[in-house]
Amino acid sequence: MKKPSDYINLLPREEKKASLFLSKGSIILGLFVLAWLVLLGWQGHKLLDLRSRLNSFTIKKNEYRQQLVALYKELGISLPVGMTPEKAWLIQSILSERILWSEVFKQFSLIVPRGMWFDSLEGSSVGKAEIKIRGGALNYLMVAEFMRALEKSPYFEKPQLIFAQKAVVQGQETVGFEIVCGVKKMRGAP
Give the pLDDT of residue 179.
93
Average confidence (pLDDT) over 3-28: 63
**DSSP 3-state assignment of 94?**
helix
Give the pLDDT of residue 123.
82
Alpha-carbon distance of 133 to 147, in angstroms, equals 11
Task: Work out the percent of the chain whose per-residue pLDDT is above 70.
Answer: 78
Q: How confident is the model at residue 148 (pLDDT cuts 50, 70, 90)?
A: very high
Q: How confident is the model at residue 169 (pLDDT cuts 50, 70, 90)?
A: confident
Tell the burial category of 8 from Cβ atoms under 10 Å away from its Cβ (0-12, 13-18, 19+).
exposed
pLDDT tens-digit readout, 111-145: 898 889 989 988 877 777 888 999 999 999 999 99
Query: Quick check: 168 and 174 in contact, CB under 8 A?
Result: yes
Give the pLDDT of residue 6.
65
The four Cα atoms 51, 54, 58, 61 give a dihedral, to 10 degrees, of 170
Average confidence (pLDDT) over 17-39: 79
Average pLDDT, the chain: 81
Alpha-carbon distance of 161 to 140, in angstroms, equals 12
Report how far apart, in Å, the C-alpha atoms of 57 and of each of 47, 54, 69 are.
Answer: 15, 5, 18
- Write the CATH number of the domain with boundaries 99-183: 3.30.70.2830
CA-only gyration radius of the chain, Å: 40
Average confidence (pLDDT) over 27-45: 92
Q: How confident is the model at residue 190 (pLDDT cuts 50, 70, 90)?
A: very low
Instruction: Name the nearest CA neighbour of 150 among 120, 121, 179, 177.
Output: 179
Answer with the residue of higher pLDDT: 133 or 79: 133
- Using a cut of 0.85, tell me whether the model's pTM lies above it: no
Query: Quick check: 104 and 182 in contact, CB under 8 A?
Result: no
**DSSP 3-state assignment of 177?**
strand
Average confidence (pLDDT) over 84-91: 72
The 8-class DSSP code of residue 8 comes to -
Q: Which residues contact 132 (CB under 8 A, 6 or more apart)?
A: 120, 121, 122, 123, 178, 179, 180
Query: Quick check: 101 and 121 in contact, CB under 8 A?
Result: no
For the ranges 3-17, 86-100, 129-143, the lowest mean pLDDT is seen at 3-17
Cβ burial 133-165 (10 Å sphere, 16+ → b, else e): bebbbbeeebbebbbebbeebebbeebeeeebe
Q: Tell me the domain boundaries of the chain.
A: 12-96, 99-183
